[in-house]
Structure formats: C-alpha cells, structure tokens
Amino acid sequence: MSEAVLTIRDLHQYFERGTINETHALQGINLTVTEGEFVTIIGGNGAGKSTLLNSIAGTLPVDTGQVVLEGKDITYDSVTTRARWIARVFQDPKMGTAQRLSVAENMALALKRGEHHSLFRIGTPRSSRPRFKEALKRLNLGLEERLDTEIGLLSGGQRQAITLLMATLQKPELLLLDEHTAALDPKTSATVLQLTQQLVQEEDLTALMITHNMQDAIKYGNRLWMLDHGRIVVDVAGDEKKHLTVPDLLELFNKASQEQMTDDELLLSSDN
Amino acid sequence: MDILLSSLSQGLIWSIMAIGVYLTFRILDIADMTAEGAFPLGAAFAASLIANHANPWLATLVGMFGGMLAGLISGLLYTRLKIPALLTGILTLTGLYSINLRIMGKANITLLGQQTVFSAFDQFSSNTQVIIVGSLIVVVIMVLLVLFFNTEMGLAARAVGDNPDMSAANGVHVANMQIVIYMISNGLIALAGALMAQSNGYADISMGVGTIVIALAAIIIGEVLVHNLSFGKRLITIIVGAVVYRLIIAFVLWLGVDPNDLRLFYAVLLTVLLALPLAQKLVRQGQRRRLNKQHIAELVRNSQEDKK
C-alpha cells in the first residue's frame, strides 16, 4: 500500500462569518491523497476548489479542521513554512515569478524553496546554470538561451512553463496547480498541460490540479474530484477514472447533487 | 569652480541618502517617510558625540546604527502591526523628532573647530576633503550593496519587493526581508545625515525636512537620464542624479532665489519630474495621432481619385 501524503479532516472554511453575507465555502472536507496520485479537481464557480487549495497551501487560515502532510500536522503553519514541502503554480502567470528578476534568478530562488537564505552564499551561483539550462531545454521553447532575460519580458505561456519547472526543481511532497492554464490560449494551455503530465510522471509527484475543463480533468491525472457547494461530491480513481466520459461525469454530478439536495430537504424538514 | 566643487561634495552626501531611499522606494515600492527622521537622527548622534570629543568615525557609525534602529521600528510597525507604509513612516518620524531633541539636548549643535571624518585630509580645501572622503564612502557602500543583493538573502529580498506572494510560496520570510531592507535603507540615510552635519559644521533639528523629496528627485533624474539598468549601474545614475540635482539648486540660488523659498522649489521640481513620464506619453500619443490623421487623409484621397 502506498503512503498517505495528504490527509484532511473535517475542514470547514467560512467567509465573512457572523455577518449577513456569510458563506460556508468548505463544508466538512475529508480526504486522503496517497503517494503518486495526480488528482484533477473540477466544480463550478464558488464550489470551493480554490478555497481548498488555499487552505492546503496556507494562504487561507483554517477555520476548523485539520491538514496533515506526510504525518505532520501543518494546520497552523505559515505559507513560508509549508513551502518546504509544498510547491504551487498560480492561475495568473504573473503570480508565479518575480518579474524584474532574470529567469536564472527566479529558478535559483525556486531551487532553494523552503531553505534558509544565507547572507554568505551567492544567490545565483554559476555552477547552477548548466542545471537550469538542462531543465529549460525540456520545454522546447528556446528559453535555455535566455537565462539572463528579465522574466517579465516573456509571454504568459513561457512564464507559466517556467513556473511549473521551478515548482519541481526541488521535488515537492505535494504540487498544487490552481487553474494554471486558465489564462493561456488553447494551444499554449495544451502544451503546459502536457508538460505538467510529463513532469508529474517523470518526477513521480503527488499533485492536485484545479481545472475548468472537464475534458482535461478526464484526460489528465489518475483520480478526479468534483466539488459542489463546499463538498467533494464525486471521487473516482483507477479504471473507473480511465474510462470516464464527459456525459458520465455529468450524470455522476447530477446524481450526487440531487442526493445532496434531498439531504438538505431532510435537514430542513426535520428542523420544522 | 567653487560652486561646482561644493555641488559635487554636497551631491555625494545626498547620493548616499538617495541610495537609501531608493531601496525602499524601488525595491519595496514604498515611499518611506522614516527618512525625514533618520537623516537628522544620524546627524544628532554624530554631532553630539563629536562635540564631546568622540572619534568622528565612531560617531558616524553610531549615527548609522541609530538609523538602522529607526528602520527596524518602521519595519516592525509595517510588517507586524500591518500599519500602512505611509503612516508607519510618519509615526516613526514624529517620534524621532523628540528623540533627536533629546540626543542633541538643544535644537542646534555647532561643530566648529572639531575633528570630523573629513579632517584626515586637511591639507586640502574643505570641499575637496568632503569629495575625497565622500567618494570613498560611496564606493564602499556600492560594493557592499551589490555584493549583498547577489547573495541568497539579497536575491530573496529583491524577490519580496517584486512579488511577495511568490516569495512566500518559495519559502522566503517576507516580513524579515522587508525589515532588512528598511534597516539598510534608513542606516544609509542616517549615515548621510551624520556626514552632512560634519560637512556643514552643525546639526540642526529641522535638517531632515525635504529628505524624501530631494532623494526622490535624485533617483528620478538618474532614471530619466538612463532607463532600465542593472542594480549596480542604477546606483551610479543615482549618484549622478544627486550631483545634477545639487547643481540645479546651486544654479537657482545663483539666479537670486531666496534660500527660504528653496523647499517650494524642491516640491515643484519633484512634481515636474514625477509628471515627466506622463508628459512624454502624451507628446508621443499626439505625434502618433497626427501621423495617423495624415495617413487616413491620404487613404481617403486615394480612394476618391480611384473613383474618378
């Protein structure tokens, strides 16, 4: 049996709690992700996908519940502390890189993810450049010749590909991808998704990937969650996931959300 | 000639202050008002120690550390108490006014006849002394800063200024890096204050007024002269900017402007400099529109001729 990388117990998140605008964004998430799993996550706007990822990454403090990574309780650890184990690619290509720093400098920072930043070591040592070039070559974008280019001058697709590479320079225990291709044109998006698949397989990574595209959710990864109203309503893996089609998925979703609705009705009626 | 020398000497001291302001202004993207308190703080420490016959180098160093402490306080207010950057600076600057008065014991300390860091070269004129010592100090600062920003910590600090979220996601202690920049910045500004007091021969409680405006003007003159530069080269343009700015002021005084009106001039000049990019854009836009109009007119004419 492979080991649990991520365990979440009874996670709840509220926005504007105690006001008239209160939103119960996550309503008791329980999940376990084991080593080597590549989970794709779909769900409508406001389903809680990003809230879930933000809770895992630490950008959103947990209201109630517990987040455990490789046996360590990280519920109350900061983003900076969690960076030792978790790498992340954001939706906005601008978010994942420091735009006035060069490609090499960005990569050097990522290579040191979660480590101490010493005053007595060179930030971007010459010795690391061959490694960066090697890694960039895999993208087939000709970026290996542009190590000293300010990263802000590159296109969104190029930056996103580099961010992905940066996230894996130092192997993370968990890789979080928050709609990382949503801001790209269809062709670039496909390239970056291919690269994602390739990196996850080659480096044997455990990853969670949010996407808006059902096709992509089915095509990539080996497990799929569908979120609705702050709950995981569909969870398929293995062969079932492999043979999934979009109509199957819609059916699963309708079934699940209907069940949930009846649950709510029961609750309401028992209240009365 | 004398005006040139004195502008160069004052400009060099201002350039240290401008480099300090540059760190918060361009790296952290904060106009840190602490500068206006840190500058006289450095002067207050240095002048009162020198007036009590302390070693002038030691006195200057104490002034610089005082500035770093002021930076630490502003940095803590900003990062730990989450007070907006502009208010943070104003709080520290207001508090520092009382502290500076305490350090000096009175509003003005004269250093006439005292040994200063510039006295080592007393075979030269006073302006030349300041230029020699000032240049040495500026070179040392530039080398140290370039080295620092190429270390792992310096790289992390630059990343924080660019993209705090990305830096945190890569494990950088964002708040600590911001505090480090605040401290280096205000340390340099206080160092400039300590040197200015020794160069002028006195420290005055109000000598900090205008620090930010002067420093920003020097930075922007440097940036207008040369666009897009690496960090080390940018520092050189700031030094040039500070000297040029000092020359402009010498010129304005030579024209017969009342020194009491000088701060109004500082403000107006900085406003002009800040508005310059917009003005450039508008001029370029106007040119493009004119060309476009001609182009369209030509198209219309051609199509009318075709019809005929």
Q: Which chain B positions have a beta carbon within 8 Å of A80's beta carbon? A: 168, 171-174
Quote the pLDDT of residue A119.
86
User: At residue A267, does pLDDT exceed 70?
Assistant: no
Chain A and chain B share a number of CB contacts under 8 A equal to: 94
What's the confidence (pLDDT) of residue A2?
Answer: 63
Is a pLDDT exceeding 60 seen at residue A269?
Answer: no
Chain B residues touching A132 at Cβ < 8 A: none
Nearest CB neighbour to B169, from listed A88, A117, A120: A88
In whole angstroms, give the CA distance from residue B192 to residue A44.
Answer: 58
3-state secondary structure chain A: CCCEEEEEEEEEEEECCCCCCCEEEEEEEEEEEECCCEEEEEECCCCCHHHHHHHHHCCCCCCEEEEEECCEECCCCCHHHHCCCEEEECCCCCCCCCCCCEHHHHHHHHHCCCCCCCCCCECCCHHHHHHHHHHHHCCCCCHHHCCCCEHHHCCHHHHHHHHHHHHHHCCCCEEEEECCCCCCCHHHHHHHHHHHHHHHHHCCCCEEEECCCHHHHHHCCCEEEEEECCEEEEEEEHHHHHCCCHHHHHHHHHHHHHHHHHHHHHHHHHHC
Which residues of A lie inside 8 Å of B (Cβ-Cβ)?
Answer: 57, 59, 78-81, 83-84, 87-88, 90, 94-101, 105-106, 108-110, 112-115, 117-124, 166
Residue from the list A81, A101, A121 with its beta carbon closest to the beta carbon of B152: A121
Contact: A109, B155; criterion CB under 8 Å:
yes
- The secondary element (H helix, E strand) that includes residue B202 is strand B202-204
More confident position, A254 or B181: B181
pLDDT at A259: 64
CB contact under 8 A, B171 and A98: no
pLDDT on residue A263: 53
Q: Is the Cβ pair A112, B171 closer than 8 Å?
A: yes
* Residue A244: pLDDT over 80: yes
Inspect the interface and report whether the beta carbons of A101 and B150 lie closer than 8 Å. no
pLDDT at res. A252: 86
Please indicate whether, in this complex, the C-beta atoms of A114 and B155 are within 8 angstroms of each other: no
- pLDDT, tens only, A10-22: 999 999 888 888 8
> Which residue from B150, B151, B162 is facing A98, i.e. has the nearest CB?
B162
Per-residue pLDDT of chain B (308 residues; tens, 9 = 90+): 788 898 999 999 999 999 999 999 999 999 999 999 999 999 999 999 999 999 999 999 999 999 999 999 999 999 999 999 999 999 999 999 999 999 999 999 999 888 999 988 778 888 899 999 999 999 999 999 999 999 999 999 999 999 999 999 999 999 999 999 999 999 999 999 999 999 999 999 999 998 999 999 999 999 888 887 788 899 999 999 999 999 999 998 888 888 888 889 889 999 998 898 889 899 999 999 999 999 999 999 998 888 77
Instruction: Tell if the CB–CB gap between A108 and B156 is shorter than 8 Å.
Output: no
Name the residue in chain A with its Cα closest to that of B153. Answer: A117
pLDDT at residue A271 in the model: 38
Q: What is the model's pLDDT at position A270?
A: 39
> What is the complex's ipTM, to 2 decimals?
0.87
What average pLDDT does range A166-181 have in this prediction? Answer: 94
- Indicate whether A186 pLDDT > 80: yes
Instruction: List CB contacts (< 8 A) between B163 and chain A.
Output: 94-95, 97-99
Tell me what pLDDT residue A44 has.
84
pLDDT number for residue A249:
86
Question: What residues form DSSP beta bridges with B281?
Answer: none
User: What amino acid is encoded at A266 in this protein?
Assistant: L
CA distance B127 to chain A (A): 37
Instruction: Please say if the pLDDT value at position A272 is more than 50.
Output: no
Q: Which among B153, B163, B170 has CB closest to A110?
A: B170
pLDDT value of position A262: 55
pLDDT the model gives residue A97: 95
Buried-exposed string A149-168: b where 16+ CB fall within 10 A, e elsewhere:
ebbeebeebbbbbbbbbbbb
Q: Mark yes or no for CB contact B155/A108 under 8 Å.
A: yes
User: Cβ separation of B152 and A101 shorter than 8 Å?
Assistant: no
Report chain A's mean pLDDT, rounded to a whole number. Answer: 89
pLDDT of residue A242: 87
pLDDT band at A247 (very low <50, low <70, confident <90, very high): confident
pLDDT at A194 over 50: yes
The residue type found at A153 is L
Q: Are B187 and B20 in contact (CB under 8 A)?
A: yes
Residue B102 belongs to what H/E stretch?
Answer: helix B85-104
Among B151, B170, B173, B177, most A C-beta atoms within 10 A, so best to mutate, is B170
Q: Structural domains in chain A?
A: 4-101+156-257 (3.40.50.300)
CA distance, residue A145 to nearest chain B CA (Å): 19
Looking at residue A266, what is its pLDDT?
47
pLDDT score recorded for residue A212: 87
Q: Report the gap between the CA of A133 and the closest CA in chain B (Å).
A: 20
Q: pLDDT at residue A114 above 50?
A: yes
In tens, the pLDDT along A36-87 reads 999 999 988 888 999 999 999 999 999 999 999 999 999 999 999 999 999 9
> Hey, of A113, A117, A132, which one would you mutate to test binding to chain B, going by the most B CBs within 10 A of its CB?
A117
Q: Are the Cβ atoms of A98 and B154 closer than 8 angstroms?
A: no
